[in-house]
Amino acid sequence: MAEAERITPIDWDNIYHRLKTTQAAGEQAGPEETRRILRARARQLALEPRETTSDFPCVAVVEFWLASEIYCVELSAVREIFPLRELTPVPCTPPFVLGLINIRGQLLSVIDIKKFFQLPEKGLTELNKVIVVSIEGFEIGLLADAVLGVKAIPLSEIQPSVHLFTGVQAEYLKGVTGERAILLDIQRLVMDRQLIISEQVDG
């Protein structure tokens, strides 16, 4: 008797989020930057889909470029992705505080984690996006060089990153995936008091 064909269910939520983030990432950049992003996306699309049954527990993440490396944050912590525009600098704040943006009436701090992690810097481009993350009532925006999309990563592929990173960066990482994407410990990062701006308005 032939082995029954195994059908992997379509994860429509995953597809919806990928389309949404890809649309948000709408690119208008130089040809070299565009080729780099397209190559990364092509590599993602070329991957074989993985089963997401209980036998292969996965975590859904948003992947993004940061200083020529691929980072990711858990999708459950991401509220939305927003273009970097109408940024208002905030005086007397640490260099990693890029400024404030207004999202439908809500002012959010935008953190340049390249500066926080002391990574190589690059100028802002049209590809820059703000990943709005929310943890226990705290919300901040993380500046990304570009957003790649959403994907599911098997938990078994995430390896500890302690031996790969040192310094301030190592404190905020959960691990490294099999494709060398760096998974941020977004809860520790968002709840870090260094990133909380205490704003007082006189009057």
* 195, 142 Cβ separation under 8 angstroms: no
Pairing of strands 69-74, 78-83: unpaired
Predicted pLDDT at 191: 87
The helix or strand, by DSSP H or E, that contains position 63, with its residue range, turns out to be strand 58-66
What percent of the chain has pLDDT above 90?
38
For residue 106, pLDDT beyond 80: yes
Distance CA 29, CA 145 (A): 11
d(CA 97, CA 103): 17
pLDDT of residue 1: 44
What's the confidence (pLDDT) of residue 121?
A: 81
* Confidence at residue 80, expressed as pLDDT on a 0 to 100 scale: 95
In the DSSP assignment, the letter for residue 68 is: T
Res 3 pLDDT > 50: no
The percent of residues above 70 in pLDDT, for the chain, comes to 66
What are 68-78's pLDDT values in tens digits?
Answer: 889 999 999 99
Kindly report the backbone phi and psi dihedral angles of residue 194, in degrees, each rounded to the nearest multiple of 5, phi listed first: -65, -25
The tokens describing 9, both together, are 């269910």
For residues 123 and 72, give the distance between their C-alpha atoms in angstroms, rounded to a whole number. Answer: 21
